[in-house]
């Protein structure tokens, strides 16, 4: 065989590898409304940038007749490419080959990509579409999963890890995405669960569909496992590109500051009237967020879960930031188990990758009740407290309306090393609201007043006195807990100026192996 024949053989082998499990299975994938592993990579990466690794790898199993069924690539396409010119590493599971099941060599390919990503200091992206462990390979398949899990753990906080679920992801396979930073699921075509409907039915007697057990809607609204529900794979791939705009390549770099054409000194007079005069009346905090960020662009994470707190990415003067905001429009913005978990993880994610944190506070306290207490609100609330206290990135906190009790401390207070703490003029910062405080402090005197009108007038007068003496931003400002009381319409400008001043911030943690966050 001369060199031309060898080159032709190479080209033929590449063409064979690109077919995966063959045209019939590719057609079956398309009929399900799903793309193939290679199509997903081509759509996600910059055109012509993909460099594939291990195209000619095959499995090593000789049991159950598998030695007679070999496919080049063995069920996963892996390599590197660029997104918006920035290097990323990627693996895409190929459902057309043994249902995307994981073998020893499949795992080896994924691990190689993750190792290369760590060495290069670049994000790693996993596109999941797999039936789980390849049963024929037994413990070798399980060992392969564990090798991947270990690398997920080592990469955590070092390089961004993003998982997209575009098909089944069950059993042990779910734990690799669960260890990553962001999970995206495609609606109706993806599912995640540790135990499937059949085993669930056998063990517990519960009769439930795949979609109801682990579909995208479940994990974005009930469990909080996934961060985004994409209408389809196209949207999911676009989301990956969008997320990376706010993140650096690794933990030793800063997010890229881009040109901003939205004036940094833009004032918005409507912010002066956006909060109702009635302190118990709700409003949508996202109305404030969209007005203060660059170009009204806000990428919200976990939008359908724990809606009493809002988390997401935006830019201020071109600087990528994370936003955490209480949402008075849902449960009055109260902190509960799920909102503390949601915000705590997001704060730690931002801190790991040098993304400044902007906190918008309007919180009446923690949600009371036996359900919350039995569920461990103390421990879960402490997660958020821990996350803010541990974070060393620039932290800017604005109290919009109310900040009561321990919830004030938890939400980026000065004592948790927030760099700049601002308050709007109508903010109330106190142990509790005026009405509750007066019921405790003056309850006996109020009850002794027989005339209802006189009793109500006395209570109202005492509540007003309490607000003037304790529940206003000037009290906190006098102690230096609030750095300045600002006009609402100037909020954007004040945030951007503070970010620029804090761009060289250095904050150190005491030497230690790691903290013991209350899990």
Positions marked catalytic? 171-172, 406-407
Q: Residue 242's Cα: distance from chain center in Å?
A: 13
Q: How far is residue 325's CA from residue 397's CA, in Å, rounded to a whole number?
A: 10
Q: For the CA atoms of the chain, what is the radius of gyration?
A: 27
In order, the DSSP letters of 133-162 are B-GGGTHHHHHHHHHHHHHHHHHTTTS-EE
Q: How far is residue 230's CA from residue 416's CA, in Å, rounded to a whole number?
A: 36
Q: Which helix (DSSP H) or strand (DSSP E) does residue 430 occupy?
A: strand 428-430
Residue from 257, 256, 242, 248 nearest 121 by CA:
248
Assess contact for 418 and 425: CB atoms under 8 A. no
Assess contact for 142 and 173: CB atoms under 8 A. no
Q: CB within 8 A of 315, min separation 6: which ones?
A: 246, 258, 260, 293, 294, 295, 297, 321
Residue environment code for 160-194, b if the CB has 16+ CB neighbours within 10 A, otherwise e: bbbbbbbbbbbbbbbebbbbbbbbbbbbebbbbbe
Q: How many CA atoms lie within 13 A of 445 on its CB side?
A: 12
Q: How far is CA 314 from CA 227, 274, 286, 324, in A?
A: 16, 20, 12, 11
DSSP 66: G
HEC profile of 285-340: HHHHHHHHCHHHCEEEECCCCCCCEEEEEEEECCEEEEEEEECCCCHHHCECHHHH
Q: Is 368 helix (H, G, I), strand (E, B) or coil?
A: coil
Q: How far is residue 397's CA from residue 395's CA, in Å, rounded to a whole number?
A: 7
């Amino acid at each position: 065989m001369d060199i031309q024949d060898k080159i032709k053989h190479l080209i033929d082998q590449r063409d064979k590898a690109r077919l995966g499990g063959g045209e019939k299975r590719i057609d079956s994938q398309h009929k399900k409304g799903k793309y193939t592993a290679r199509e997903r990579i081509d759509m996600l990466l910059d055109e012509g940038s993909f460099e594939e690794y291990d195209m000619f790898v095959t499995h090593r199993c000789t049991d159950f007749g598998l030695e007679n069924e070999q496919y080049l690539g063995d069920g996963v396409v892996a390599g590197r490419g660029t997104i918006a010119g920035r290097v990323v590493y990627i693996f895409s599971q190929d459902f057309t080959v043994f249902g995307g099941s994981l073998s020893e060599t499949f795992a080896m390919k994924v691990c190689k990509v993750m190792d290369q990503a760590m060495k290069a200091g670049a994000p790693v992206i996993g596109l999941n579409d797999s039936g789980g462990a390849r049963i024929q390979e037994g413990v070798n398949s399980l060992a392969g999963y564990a090798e991947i899990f270990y690398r997920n753990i080592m990469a955590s906080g070092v390089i961004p890890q993003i998982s997209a679920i575009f098909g089944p992801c069950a059993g042990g396979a779910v734990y690799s995405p669960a260890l990553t930073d962001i999970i995206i699921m495609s609606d109706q075509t993806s599912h995640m669960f540790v135990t499937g409907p059949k085993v669930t039915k056998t063990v517990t007697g519960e009769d439930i569909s795949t979609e109801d057990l682990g579909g995208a809607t479940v994990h974005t609204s009930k469990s909080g496992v996934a961060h985004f529900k994409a209408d389809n794979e196209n949207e999911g791939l676009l989301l990956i590109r969008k997320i990376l705009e706010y993140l650096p390549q690794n933990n030793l770099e800063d997010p890229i500051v881009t040109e901003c054409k939205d004036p940094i000194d833009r004032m918005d007079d409507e912010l002066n009237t956006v909060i109702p005069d009635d302190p118990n009346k709700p409003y949508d905090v996202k109305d404030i967020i969209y007005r203060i960020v660059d170009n009204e662009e806000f990428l919200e994470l976990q939008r359908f879960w724990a809606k009493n707190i809002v988390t997401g990415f935006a830019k201020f003067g071109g600087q990528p930031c994370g936003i955490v905001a209480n949402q008075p429009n849902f449960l009055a913005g109260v902190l509960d188990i799920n909102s503390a978990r949601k915000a705590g993880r997001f704060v730690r994610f931002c801190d790991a990758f040098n993304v400044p944190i902007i906190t918008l506070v309007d919180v009446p306290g923690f949600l009371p009740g036996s359900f919350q207490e039995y569920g461990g609100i103390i421990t879960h609330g402490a997660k958020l407290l821990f996350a803010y206290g541990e974070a060393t990135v620039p932290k800017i906190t604005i109290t919009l309306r109310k900040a009561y009790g321990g919830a004030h401390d938890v939400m980026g207070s000065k004592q948790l090393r927030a760099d700049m703490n601002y308050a709007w003029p109508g903010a109330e910062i106190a142990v509790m609201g005026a009405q509750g405080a007066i019921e405790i402090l003056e309850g006996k005197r109020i009850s002794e007043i027989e005339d209802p009108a006189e009793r109500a007038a006395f209570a109202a007068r005492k509540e007003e006195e309490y607000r003037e003496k304790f529940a206003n931003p000037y009290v906190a400002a006098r102690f230096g807990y609030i750095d300045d009381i600002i006009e609402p319409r100037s909020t954007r400008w004040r945030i951007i100026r503070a970010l620029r001043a804090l761009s060289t911030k250095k904050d150190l943690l005491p030497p230690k192996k790691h903290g013991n966050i209350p899990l």
